[in-house]
Structure 1
Amino acid sequence: MISSPFGKDLGSMNADLENYTYYQMNNIDSNASTLRAGITEIAENYGFKDIEININSQFGENQMPMQVTVDGVSMVPTLQDGENVIIQKTKNPKVGDIIVVKDPEETLLIKRLGNISGDRIFLSSDNNDTVTAIVNGSYVEMIALEKWTNASNVVGVARIFNV
């Protein structure tokens, strides 16, 4: 246990901050504001008051990264099955960006943003080939998923590939 001259257990506080930050970076619903609020609460629980928190990442000030793993071949040749990608959590993608969205049917999807119409976005795949897969012991032909969804489902934009 590490103690400061002021009687605060800084080792425990640092561990709590590290665990909380890791969780928030991987939480699809978190952002810089929720991260800042949680860090403030942890610091206050350890007796620190009036603290200033600056959040900086490789994407800039108040920008949060998140790592995702590609599952499937719908984005081949751009992204490979099993490839790790770092996204920038943002709600402001542009047409042509590769984005991650939360989807009620599929959990998380990584797709290309094909179109924006009001509060709806069109998700498209880079791989439009039919793929044969074994599902529950039977061969099934699968085609790439393309669909419209709510823009509010955007988690972020892919920025760093093949991590």
Structure 2
Amino acid sequence: MANKGVLAIGAVVIILLLVGGYFLFIGESVNVYMDGENITAQTTISPFSGVDTGKLNDEICELTFQNMNNTTGDAKSLKQGILRICLAHGLDNVKVHLNSPLGEDEIPILFHVEGTSMYPTLNDGQTVLVEKTKDIKVGNIVVADSDEYGNIIKRVSQIKGDQVYLTSDNTNVDYEYINGTRYETKGITTWVGINDIYGVVVQY
């Protein structure tokens, strides 16, 4: 009986050493998956850490959501923010992995088109997939945050330094009378800064 007890204690010690060794050499990790609209976070940490992983994952998802909806947010700043959250929970040796349908360290956003200014390329109510990036080229369709118009989806027509000229694909001009006065309506054209760009439309 004594030998069995010793064996049992030995087995427990070996298991603890194996578990501890795994996290010592492999490390703790956070895996975040984004599909453009939904976010999931999964943490792999030592069972002895005492960390509330549910709360940790919720904070990571909230930060990721904020990053997706911020024009200046990118994969680097998101990873740094996640590491700060982990450190606040007492985790200082965490590897962060970001994944999405666009690939590793790529952040997607689903954007819903409103209006007909991009017709016939895009239709009112259509959903498009946007890749968060500042690497834009003339001819790209981008989503931007305009001081004058709010969130808009337009085509890049010119790039001058850090300024980007956006135009509508729909070139039709309409007229309407309001209180006897004739008004011309046409698609938006506007300049925005490169930092006002959310990203490039990659699927529609």
TM-score (norm 2): 0.67
Task: Give the superposed CA RMSD.
Answer: 2.4
Q: 2:122 is matched with which residue?
A: 79
**Within 5 A, what are the aligned runs for 1:85-100?**
85-100=128-143
Work out whether 1:113 is the aligned partner of 2:156.
yes
Q: 1:25 is matched with which residue?
A: 68
Q: 1:66 is matched with which residue?
A: 109
TM-superposed CA distance for 1:87, in Å, is 0.9
TM-superposed CA distance for 1:32, in Å, is 0.9
List runs of 5+ in structure 1 lacking aligned partners: none
Larger radius of gyration: 2
Q: SS where residue 114 of structure 1 aligns? A: strand
- What percent of counterpart residues are identical? 33
Deviates more, 1:43-52 or 1:147-156: 147-156
Work out whether 1:38 is the aligned partner of 2:81.
yes
TM-superposed CA distance for 1:150, in Å, is 3.0
Q: 2:24 is matched with which residue?
A: none
Deviates more, 1:23-32 or 1:95-104: 23-32
Q: SS where residue 61 of structure 1 aligns? A: coil
Q: 2:203, 2:80 → 1: CA distance? A: 27
Q: 2:175, 2:151 → 1: CA distance? A: 22
TM-superposed CA distance for 1:139, in Å, is 8.8
TM-superposed CA distance for 1:35, in Å, is 0.8
CA contact (8 A) 2:71 2:195 kept: no
CA contact (8 A) 1:26 1:67 kept: no
TM-score (norm 1): 0.82
Distance change (3 Å), C-alpha of 1:132 and 1:73: farther
Greater share of helix: 2
- Partner letter of residue 29 of structure 1? T
List runs of 5+ in structure 2 lacking aligned partners: 1-46
Distance change (3 Å), C-alpha of 1:85 and 1:8: same
TM-superposed CA distance for 1:140, in Å, is 5.3
Q: 2:8 is matched with which residue?
A: none
Work out whether 1:147 is the aligned partner of 2:190.
yes
Work out whether 1:47 is the aligned partner of 2:90.
yes
CA contact (8 A) 1:24 1:30 kept: yes
TM-superposed CA distance for 1:130, in Å, is 2.4
Q: 2:31 is matched with which residue?
A: none
Q: SS where residue 96 of structure 2 aligns? A: coil
Distance change (3 Å), C-alpha of 1:153 and 1:22: closer
Q: 1:94, 1:60 → 2: CA distance? A: 21
Q: 1:156 is matched with which residue?
A: 199
Give the aligned length: 156
Q: 2:177, 2:135 → 1: CA distance? A: 37
TM-superposed CA distance for 1:47, in Å, is 1.6
